[in-house]
A and B are shown apart, each in its own frame.
Chain A
Amino acid sequence: MSDLIIANRTFSSRLLVGTGKFSSNAAMVAAMEGSGCEIVTVALRRVDVDDPQDSLLSHIDRQKYLLLPNTSGARDAEEAVRLARLARAAGCEPWIKLEVTPDPYYLLPDPIETLKAAEILVKEGFIVLPYINADPVLAKRLQEIGTATVMPLGAPIGTNRGLRTREQIAIIIEQAIVPVIVDAGLGAPSHAAEAMELGADAVLVNTALAVARDPGLMGQAFRKGVEAGREGYLAGLGSQRHQAEASSPLTGFLRN
Chain B
Amino acid sequence: MQLKINGRARDVTAGDVAGLLQELGLDASRVAIELNHAIVLQANFAQTPLAAGDSIEIVHFVGGG
Interfacial residues, chain A to chain B (CB-CB below 8 A)? 18-22, 28, 41-47, 49, 52, 55-57, 67, 69-70, 72, 82, 85-87, 89-91, 157-158, 184, 204, 206-207
Contact B65 A56 (CB under 8 A): no
Q: Whole-angstrom distance from the CB of A226 to the nearest CB of chain B?
A: 16
Query: Which chain A residues lie closer than 8 Å to B26 at the CB level?
Result: 47, 49, 52
Q: Whole-angstrom distance from the CB of B7 to the nearest CB of chain A?
A: 8
Q: Whole-angstrom distance from the CB of A55 to the nearest CB of chain B?
A: 5
CA separation between A145 and B35, bound complex, in Å? 31
Instruction: Determine the residue in chain A with the shortest Cβ distance to B57.
Output: A46
Chain B residue total in the interface (Cβ 8 A): 27
Instruction: Determine the residue in chain A with the shortest Cβ distance to B23.
Output: A49
CA separation between A158 and B63, bound complex, in Å? 14
CA separation between A41 and B64, bound complex, in Å? 6
Query: Which chain A residues lie closer than 8 Å to B7 at the CB level?
Result: 46
Asked if B31 is at the interface of the complex by the 8 Å CB criterion, the answer is yes
CA separation between A230 and B11, bound complex, in Å? 57
Query: A47-B6, A49-B5, A49-B24 in contact; A207/B32 too (CB < 8 A)?
Result: no
